[in-house]
């Protein structure tokens, strides 16, 4: 699989982005881990690529202001998957297909099952409580 994170440069396209000098414990979409107290972050509007037309969604995400992390993009980021998450599948036309809540420890199996459908192009991982986008997954 291939993981797709969000670069901090994406914040620059949102004129309403907010600078937070200290916002510990938020899920960083750049490094795919939780923030530490001394790490300045952006909070901004972001629309993931997979959803198109009426399925395009905009929501809040955090990234570092200056990111020095280099997350492994060929395996799941365990620090963001220690709680149940929403997993949604999208076809090439950008329409939502199947989706559901996945428990920690079950992500590999759930991802494999969704990708067994050849019409599925992208998966999105989101929070259960707020629905916020975390990262996307495609086939390697
Ligand atoms: Zn980062």
Residue 103: burial class (beta carbons within 10 Å; 0-12, 13-18, 19+): exposed
Contact 21, 41 (CB under 8 A): no
Structure confidence by residue, pLDDT tens digits, 77-116: 999 999 999 999 999 999 999 999 999 999 999 999 999 9
Rounded to the nearest whole angstrom, what is the distance from the C-alpha of residue 120 to the centroid of ligand 1?
A: 28
Measured in angstroms, how far is the CA atom of residue 117 from the centroid of ligand 1? 32
Residues around ligand 1, an ion, CB closer than 5 A:
28, 30-31, 64, 67, 69
**Cβ within 8 Å of residue 6, ≥6 positions away:** 29, 30, 46, 61, 63, 135
- List the one residue out of 11, 40, 27, 12 whose CA is nearest residue 71: 27
Measure 62 CA to ligand 1 centroid, in angstroms.
9
Average pLDDT over residues 2-29: 97
For 22-45, how does the pLDDT look when each residue is reduced to its tens digit (9 = 90+)? 999 999 999 999 999 999 999 999
CA of 93 to the centre of ligand 1 (A): 30
Measure 68 CA to ligand 1 centroid, in angstroms: 6
pLDDT, tens digit, 9 for 90 and up, residues 69-79: 889 999 999 99
pLDDT of residue 70: 87
pLDDT of residue 89: 98
Other CB atoms within 10 Å distance of the CB of residue 69: 12
Q: Which residues pair with 12 in a beta bridge?
A: none
pLDDT at 139: 96
28 Cα: distance to centroid of ligand 1 (angstroms): 6
Cα 70 to averaged position of ligand 1 atoms, centre (Å): 8
């Amino acid at each position: 699989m291939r993981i797709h994170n969000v670069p901090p440069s994406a914040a620059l396209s949102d004129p309403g982005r907010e600078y937070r000098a200290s916002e510990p414990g938020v899920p960083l979409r750049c490094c795919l881990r939780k923030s530490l107290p001394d790490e300045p972050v952006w909070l901004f509007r972001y629309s993931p690529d997979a959803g198109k037309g009426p399925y395009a969604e905009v929501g809040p995400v955090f990234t570092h202001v200056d990111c020095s992390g280099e997350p492994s993009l060929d395996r799941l980021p365990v620090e963001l998957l220690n709680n149940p998450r929403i997993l949604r599948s999208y076809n090439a036309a950008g329409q939502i297909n199947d989706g559901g809540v996945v428990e920690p420890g079950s992500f590999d199996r759930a991802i494999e099952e969704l990708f067994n459908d050849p019409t599925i192009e992208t998966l999105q991982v989101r929070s259960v409580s707020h629905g916020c986008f975390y990262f996307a997954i495609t086939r390697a």
